[in-house]
């Protein structure tokens, strides 16, 4: 029983990690309608920045978020302005896909070129120490990640519902032409949204850096799982992505223990495929229609 | 107030409007009638900045707005109520209306305007917290008009306001348009429902195959043989 | 005219010569230089070009962006190596791998076809990850993470050589096979169907294309070719492991070469591989491990630049320089060559379509309410009603694009039985053709090719289809624009193209959705004449129209739909005087005006 509780706790903590990566991804998809294949590399860039800042200035990696999140905001905004915006009106979807795939490839290999294939260990500053919650052992850093993910989801929801800019973002996503007729600058909204989405993963990267060794390919692992969470929670839904991430975290932990740790990913991706094919609106259901079925 | 001069416009390689000119004076109700596919919607989209003309010019209150983006045109006081309502379906009626007051000049008066608009559409007051998609077609059209008025436009343009509505609702919509005009707002309407709009308008234009073929007082157009034959079926 | 058709021909011939020179160079250069490393580069070019060409059949022609093509490559590689270890020649293993890959391809793709664009790509990535994890897991079969070595048996039988030349020849041969298959598909019916499905799935369905079937064929062929190349590459590498055989980066590279060379073109993938592989291999050779990541960085940057500035790849650039300037000229107002009509009014024939009690709801909206009518042979039935009345919804149910909630549509088959078609394909094959209100041209095709997609319905061979398409084009007044890109037509031209594509199917029942909207008065008159002449050949027509003048002069009978219901039907002149109709169109006041 203790083992089971421990596995569930591990799964939830893992879910928090996935959530903090998935939230930005689902935001960008929901509003800009672009799947950011480079999202994992945004995380990787953020983790390297966090590593460099915290080792260079000898500060707690969490403090680097103050610089990393704005830096990622700029990276995201530039991506939208320079790479996606010129392609928004492209008739063929493949150009948008390849644009972010190209960015992903370029960033990952740039990191290889600069840092080599070796891993970089961000100093932990105590976040890898364990706390006991009843019978269950948890890393303090993992608790912080989960707490940050919850705060981020609530904060984003409030921003989207309660502020004028948030409403403008939702309006643009729901009906772009009508939003323009209201006086909303849709291009600016997209740049802002992409920036926010990237800043979310920037915040996440400062929290993840002390827990995971940083490497040029770290993004691929996280982003593929993040895609699963996003689809599971219903594309574009921020709370959906959060709960999707918790579910996937649990699945990952439980299947790792009961089926075999080398098959965890196979289980996760099989679930992903089943959802994609059988219930594309996600477990928690949204209006988003990803097959664009024509009449 | 609004002056469209020799405008050519279209999408991609397709030309829709050819050498279109028209003018609207302050306080007027002007209508553009024509068959499906004549280019009426494209004309309004061009004025509002959703489509950029290839040649020709558009001026509003003496200032050139030919190449302004849609959101900039709204800031100048030109608002389009698009064909088929185009509400934000997953937002409440209140949020839809508030989005109408997004533009800089309307923002500060948001609460006052909302109050005024709800006076005009008392029915919407009861619906404020419902999602726009849960409303009937007629109610949605009212929200669309109210949302347009929230921008405090000097010129309000209607694209097919009667589209898909039952005759009794159509009559209500035209009553509302008359009330809007009575507040001093200048109105430009595009309609297939030729009879109703000409009844409501001061002046009218007839658009056929992307060209203006007729322009006259609304009364005169109602009596015009070509109009009667082509659009009224008499 | 002769000059105009000369230019593309010479350009075409020049292109073929250029391709032949490039291909010859792939063998000649390494043989002439004789350096091991140069051999290696050219073998790698051949392998990547072959894989990319195979990918292009799915990713380019069919427009299904697979980022998991390494699945098939990996299956081929593992099949080959596992069988070699059992003493079976890779020449046989290659086909075993291809067979497994075809099965895998169908299992992977079939459920994924309802996913478009990025979601299809994501699904293929997920499948790739599953395959990689499974390959790591089943150690007894694959050797797991430690990988598999091939036993050192040398000779043609084992595809393993001391010298590089035979390996180059095999790689080159595989490239030729892939190119030949890709070329053959593109220039036959399957290629037309694939591109049509990619461009406009609904229009392709309406033209009788089995869209799922043709995509599955494309995927199967592509997977088989990829697997065969995979087998050879495994033998060439002499060592395989899951991380390199089922690699996402590798899959992306394959797709990338096609995109950079020119996605959907026959020669694009070859050009892309020839351009990029040498750069990166030289960089790797010259800079060594210092430059780890450099080639990937270059790939990524080039890919972004290409999508931004050269969306049609190198082939797009080539076309821009070779294309004859000013291919479409002026107004597309070539006369419609309508046959003279017989003067005496004809009797309408037997019933050919029965529509009974159709009901359709969208959410809470009752969009079609108890619609029923019959259509007779050689009759024109006009359908009118205000915008949003639900006319197009009825059309969608008469052509299989929407399933009615209740009610049925029966069509008299050519053999005289009443049948109830279900899918768009059923409707097309029983002889019901339709147009779309919003024109649906296949933008990447010429006018002639657009019409050919319809003509293939009756004429499976390219030559016959082309001839039928030309005939239809001339009849529809599109003769002078046969070689123009469909996207360059005016709206009137596109409307006629829409009708021409359906006419080329030689339908018995023709559903026309507002084909006269937005065309000028002269064209309306011509279109009316054309429809009457079509009717006189025994075709039955149902036409949704707004142009009243056309409806009145065209229709033998009219039905009026308002708010999803038939509110009047009968003789056109009686119907327009009906009070309900006037009210629906003009509002209540008008009846008293």
Whether residue C321 is contained in a domain is answered as no
pLDDT tens digit sequence for B192-226:
778 888 988 999 999 988 899 999 999 999 888 88
C200 and C86 within one domain: yes
CA distance, residue C546 to nearest chain B CA (Å): 7
User: Given this model, what pLDDT does residue C2 score?
Assistant: 41
- Residue in C557, C589, A49, A135 with CA at minimum distance from that of residue C576: C557
Q: In a mutagenesis test of the A interface, which of C108, C112, C293 is the best target, namely the one with the most A β-carbons within 10 Å?
A: C293
In eight-state DSSP terms, residue C437 is: S
List the chains bordering chain B where 3 or more Cβ pairs fall under 8 Å: A, C
Q: Is C483 inside a domain boundary?
A: no
Instruction: Give the three-class secondary structure for C209.
Output: coil
Secondary structure of residue C396 in the 3-state scheme: helix
Nearest CA to C235 out of C440, C79, C421 is that of: C79
Q: What is the pLDDT of residue C189?
A: 95
Of A92, A95, A117, the CB nearest to C292: A117
- Closest CA–CA distance from residue B132 to any residue of chain A (Å): 12
State which residue of chain A sits closest to C248, comparing Cα positions: A220
| pLDDT above 70 coverage of chain A, percent | 95
Supply the range of the domain harboring residue C558.
351-441+489-590
Residue C363 Cα, gap to closest chain B Cα (Å) = 11
Q: What local confidence, expressed as pLDDT, does residue C174 receive?
A: 97
Q: Which chains touch C (3 or more CB pairs under 8 A)?
A: A, B
Query: For residue B79, what is the DSSP state?
Result: E
Mean pLDDT of C226-245: 95
pLDDT of res. C537: 84
pLDDT exceeds 90 at position A245: yes
**What single DSSP character describes residue C266?**
S
Please, are residues C440 and C221 in contact by the beta-carbon 8 Å criterion? Answer: no
Nearest chain C Cα to A217, which residue?
A: C249
DSSP one-letter code for B38: S
Closest CB to B36 among C389, C517, C587: C517
Mean pLDDT in residue range A255-267 = 91
The span from the first CA to the last CA of chain A, in angstroms, equals 53
Residue C1 lies in a domain: no
Q: Is the pLDDT of residue A293 over 60?
A: no
Query: Do C281 and C375 reside in the same domain of the chain?
Result: no
Q: Could C563 and B166 be called an inter-chain contact, meaning their C-beta atoms sit closer than 8 Å?
A: yes
* Contact between A180 and B79 using a beta-carbon 8 Å cutoff: no
Give per-residue pLDDT as tens, A118-144. Answer: 889 998 888 888 888 888 899 999 999
The sign of the CA dihedral A122, A123, A125, A129 is positive
From chain C, the residues in CB contact with A108 under 8 A are 293, 296, 300
C547 closest CB neighbour out of B35, B160, B192: B35
Which residues, other chains included, contact A103 with Cβ-Cβ below 8 Å and sequence gap of 6+?
A37, A38, A41, A79, A83, C300, C304
Whole-number percent of chain C with pLDDT over 90: 58
| Segments making up each domain of chain A, as ranges | 23-219
In the prediction, which pLDDT does B3 show?
95
* Whether the predicted pLDDT of C291 surpasses 90: no
Compute the distance between CA of residue C340 and CA of residue C144 in angstroms, rounded to an integer.
Answer: 76
List strands edge to edge, sheet with C557-562. C432-434, C509-513, C540-544, C380-384, C557-562, C565-570
| pLDDT(C1) > 60 | no
pLDDT value at residue C477: 82
Is the pLDDT assigned to residue C521 strictly greater than 70? no
Closest approach of B107 to chain C, Cα-based (Å): 35
Which whole number is the average pLDDT over C363-384? 88
pLDDT given at position C402: 92
**Within a domain: C462:** no
Q: How confident is the model at residue B171 (pLDDT cuts 50, 70, 90)?
A: confident
Q: Do C400 and C533 sit in the same domain of this protein? A: yes
- What CATH number corresponds to the domain at position C435? 3.40.50.300
What 3 state SS string does C234-248 have?
Answer: HHHHCEECHHHHCCH
User: CB–CB of C258/C51 below 8 Å?
Assistant: no
| DSSP state string for C124-161 | HHHHHHHHHHHHHH-HHHH-GGG-EEPP---BGGGTB-
| Res A285: pLDDT | 55
CA-nearest residue of chain B to C549?
B230
Closest chain C residue by Cα to residue A112: C293
Residue B232: closest C-alpha in chain C: C586
b vs e for C481-512, b when ≥16 Cβ sit within 10 Å of the residue's Cβ? bbebbbbbbbbbbbbbbbbbbbbbbbbbbbbb
Supply the CATH number for residue C232's domain. 1.10.3470
CB contact under 8 A, B102 and A168: yes
CB-based contact, C455 to chain A, within 8 Å: no
Neighbours of A140 (CB within 10 A): 14
pLDDT reported for residue C338: 45
The answer to whether residue C32 sits within a structural domain is yes
Average predicted confidence (pLDDT) for chain C: 87
Rounded Cα distance between A265 and B217, Å, is 73
For A164-189, write each residue's pLDDT tens digit: 999 999 999 999 999 999 999 999 99
The total of other beta-carbon atoms located within 10 Å of residue C10's CB is: 10
Is the pLDDT assigned to residue C582 strictly greater than 90? no
Using a 10 angstrom Cβ sphere, with 0-12 exposed, 13-18 middle and 19 or more buried, the burial of residue C235 is buried
C419, C413 contact by CB (below 8 A)? yes
User: Dihedral of CA C132/C134/C139/C140: which sign?
Assistant: negative
pLDDT tier for residue C323 given thresholds of 50, 70 and 90: low
- For residue range C169-218, list pLDDT tens digits in order: 999 999 999 999 999 999 999 999 999 999 999 999 999 999 999 999 99
- Single out the residue of C328, C185, C341, C340 nearest to residue C264, CA to CA: C185
Q: Hey, are the CB atoms on C122 and A280 less than 8 Å from each other?
A: no
Tokens at residue B193, please? 């429902």
| pTM of the full structure | 0.89
Q: What percent of chain A has pLDDT over 90?
A: 76
- Residues of B with Cβ-Cβ distance to C497 under 8 angstroms: none
Q: To the nearest whole angstrom, how far is the Cα of A32 from the nearest Cα of chain C?
A: 14
What is the number of other CB atoms lying within 10 angstroms of the CB of residue C325?
5
Q: Which stretches of B77-136 are DSSP H helices?
A: 93-100, 104-107, 110-120, 122-127
Name the minimum distance, in Å, from the CA of A63 to any CA of chain C. 30
A118 DSSP 8-state letter: S
- B14: chain C residues, CB-CB within 8 Å: 490-491, 494
> Which CATH class name applies to B1-230?
alpha beta
Work out the percent of chain C whose per-residue pLDDT is above 70.
90
Specify the pLDDT at position C524: 75
Question: What is the complex's ipTM, to 2 decimals?
Answer: 0.91
Q: Judge whether C93 and C233 are in contact, CB under 8 Å.
A: no
Residues of C in contact with B166 (CB under 8 A): 563
Per the structure, the count of domains in chain C is 2
Minimum CA–CA partner of C573 in chain B = B233
Other C-beta atoms closer than 10 Å to the C-beta of C438 total 11
Tell me if residue C435 falls in helix, strand or coil. Answer: coil
Tokens matching residue C287? 């800079």
C138 and C73 part of one domain: yes
The number of angstroms, rounded, from the C-alpha of C384 to the middle of its chain's C-alpha atoms is: 33
Examine the domain organization and report whether C556 and C424 are in the same domain.
Answer: yes
Q: What integer pLDDT is reported at residue C496 of this predicted model?
A: 86
- Contact criterion met (CB below 8 Å) for A283 and A233: yes
Cα B116 to the center of its chain, rounded Å = 20
pLDDT at C518: 65
Among C residues 295-324, those touching chain A with beta carbons less than 8 Å apart: 295-297, 299-304, 307-308, 311
Helix, strand, coil fractions of chain B, as percent rounded to 5: 40, 25, 30
């Amino acid at each position: 029983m203790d083992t089971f509780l421990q596995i569930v706790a591990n799964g939830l903590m893992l879910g928090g990690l996935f959530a903090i990566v998935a939230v930005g991804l689902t935001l960008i998809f929901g509003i800009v309608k672009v799947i950011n294949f480079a999202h994992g590399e945004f995380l990787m860039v953020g983790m390297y920045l966090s590593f460099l800042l915290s080792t260079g200035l000898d500060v707690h990696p969490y403090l680097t978020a103050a610089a990393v999140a704005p830096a990622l905001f700029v990276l995201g905004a530039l991506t939208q302005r320079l790479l996606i915006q010129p392609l928004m009106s492209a008739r063929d979807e493949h150009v948008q896909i390849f644009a972010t795939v190209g960015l992903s490839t370029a960033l990952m290999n740039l990191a290889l070129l600069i840092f080599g294939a070796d891993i970089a260990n961000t100093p932990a500053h105590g976040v890898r120490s364990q706390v006991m919650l009843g019978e269950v052992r948890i890393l303090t850093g993992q608790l912080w990640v989960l707490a940050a993910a919850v705060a981020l989801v609530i904060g984003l929801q409030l921003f989207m519902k309660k502020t004028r800019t948030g409403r403008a973002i939702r309006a643009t996503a729901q009906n772009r032409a009508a939003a323009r007729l209201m006086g909303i600058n849709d291009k600016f909204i997209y740049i802002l949204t992409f920036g926010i989405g990237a800043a979310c993963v920037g915040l996440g990267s400062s929290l993840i850096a002390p827990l995971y060794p940083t490497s040029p390919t770290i993004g691929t692992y996280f982003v593929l799982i993040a895609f699963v969470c996003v689809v599971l929670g219903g594309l574009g839904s921020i709370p959906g992505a959060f709960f999707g991430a918790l579910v996937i975290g649990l699945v990952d932990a439980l299947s790792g223990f009961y089926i075999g740790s080398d098959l965890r990913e196979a289980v996760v991706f099989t679930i992903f495929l089943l959802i994609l094919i059988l219930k594309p609106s996600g477990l928690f259901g949204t209006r988003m229609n990803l097959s664009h079925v024509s009449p | 107030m609004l002056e469209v001069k020799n405008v050519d416009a279209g999408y991609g390689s397709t030309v829709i409007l050819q050498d279109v000119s028209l003018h609207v004076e302050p306080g007027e109700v002007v209508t553009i009638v024509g068959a499906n596919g004549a280019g009426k919607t494209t004309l309004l989209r061009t004025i509002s900045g959703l489509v950029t003309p290839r040649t020709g010019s558009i001026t509003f209150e003496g200032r050139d707005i030919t190449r302004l983006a849609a959101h900039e045109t709204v800031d100048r006081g030109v608002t389009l109520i698009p064909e088929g309502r185009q509400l934000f379906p997953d937002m409440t009626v209140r949020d839809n209306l508030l989005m109408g007051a997004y533009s800089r000049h309307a923002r500060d008066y948001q609460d006052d305007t909302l109050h005024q608009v709800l006076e005009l559409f008392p029915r919407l007051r009861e619906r404020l917290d419902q999602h726009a998609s849960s409303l009937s077609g007629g109610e949605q059209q009212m929200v669309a008009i109210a949302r347009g008025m929230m921008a405090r436009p000097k010129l309000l343009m209607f694209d097919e306001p009667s589209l898909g509505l039952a005759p009794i609702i159509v009559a209500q919509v035209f009553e509302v348009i008359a009330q809007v005009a009575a507040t001093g707002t200048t109105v430009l309407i595009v309609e297939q429902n030729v009879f109703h709009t000409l009844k409501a308008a001061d002046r009218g234009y007839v658009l056929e195959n992307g060209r203006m073929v007729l322009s006259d007082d609304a009364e005169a157009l109602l009596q015009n043989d070509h109009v009667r034959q082509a659009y009224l079926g008499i | 005219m002769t000059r105009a058709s000369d230019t593309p021909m010479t350009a075409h011939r020049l292109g073929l010569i250029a391709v032949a020179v490039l291909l010859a160079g792939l063998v000649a250069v390494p043989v002439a230089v004789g350096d091991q490393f140069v051999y290696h580069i050219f073998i790698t070019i051949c392998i990547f070009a072959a894989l990319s060409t195979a990918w292009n059949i799915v990713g380019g022609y069919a427009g299904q962006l697979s980022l998991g093509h390494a699945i098939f490559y990996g299956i081929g590689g593992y099949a080959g190596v596992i069988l070699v270890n059992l003493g079976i020649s890779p020449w046989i293993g290659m086909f075993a791998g291809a067979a497994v890959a075809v099965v895998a391809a169908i299992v992977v793709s079939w459920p994924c076809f309802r996913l478009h664009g990025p979601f299809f790509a994501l699904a293929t990535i997920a499948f790739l990850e599953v395959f990689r994890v499974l390959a790591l897991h089943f150690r007894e079969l694959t050797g797991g993470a430690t990988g598999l070595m091939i036993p050192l048996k040398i000779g043609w039988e084992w595809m393993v050589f001391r010298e590089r030349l035979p390996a180059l020849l095999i790689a080159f041969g595989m490239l030729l096979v892939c190119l030949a298959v890709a070329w053959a598909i593109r220039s036959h019916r399957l290629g037309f169907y694939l591109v049509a499905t990619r461009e406009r799935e609904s229009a392709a369905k309406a033209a009788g294309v089995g869209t799922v079937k043709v995509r599955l064929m494309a995927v199967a062929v592509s997977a088989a070719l990829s697997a065969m190349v995979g087998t050879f590459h495994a033998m060439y590498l002499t060592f395989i492991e899951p991380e390199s055989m089922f690699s996402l980066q590798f899959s992306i590279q394959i797709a990338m070469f096609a995109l950079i060379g020119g996605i959907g073109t026959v020669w694009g993938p070859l050009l892309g591989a020839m351009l990029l592989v040498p750069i990166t291999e030289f960089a790797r050779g010259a800079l060594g491990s210092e430059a780890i990541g450099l080639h990937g960085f270059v790939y990524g940057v080039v890919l972004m630049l290409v999508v931004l500035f050269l969306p049609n790849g190198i082939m797009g650039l080539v076309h821009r320089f070779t294309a004859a300037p000013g291919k479409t000229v002026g107004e597309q107002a070539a006369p419609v060559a309508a046959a003279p009509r017989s003067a005496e009014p004809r009797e309408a024939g037997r019933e050919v379509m029965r529509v009974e009690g159709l009901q359709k709801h969208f959410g809470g909206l009752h969009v079609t309410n108890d619609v029923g009518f019959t259509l007779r042979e050689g009759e024109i039935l006009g359908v009118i009603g205000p915008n949003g009345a639900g006319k197009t919804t009825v059309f969608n149910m008469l052509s299989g694009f929407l399933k009615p909630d209740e009610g049925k549509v029966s069509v008299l088959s050519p053999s005289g039985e009443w049948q109830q078609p279900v899918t768009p394909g059923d409707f097309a094959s029983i002889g019901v053709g339709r147009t779309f209100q919003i024109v649906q041209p296949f933008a990447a095709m010429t006018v002639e090719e657009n019409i050919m997609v319809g003509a293939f319905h009756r004429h499976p061979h390219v030559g016959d289809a082309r001839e039928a398409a030309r005939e239809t084009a001339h009849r529809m007044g599109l003769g002078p624009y046969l070689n123009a890109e469909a996207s360059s037509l005016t709206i009137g031209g596109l409307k006629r193209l829409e009708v021409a594509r359906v006419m080329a199917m030689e339908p018995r029942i023709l559903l026309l959705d507002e084909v006269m909207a937005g065309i000028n008065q002269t064209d309306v008159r011509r279109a009316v004449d054309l429809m009457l002449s079509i009717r006189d050949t025994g075709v039955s027509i149902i036409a949704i129209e707004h142009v009243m003048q056309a409806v009145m002069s065209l229709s033998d009978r009219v039905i009026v739909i308002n708010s999803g219901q038939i509110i009047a039907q009968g003789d056109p002149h009686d119907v327009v005087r009906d009070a309900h109709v006037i009210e629906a169109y003009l509002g209540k006041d008008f009846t008293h005006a």
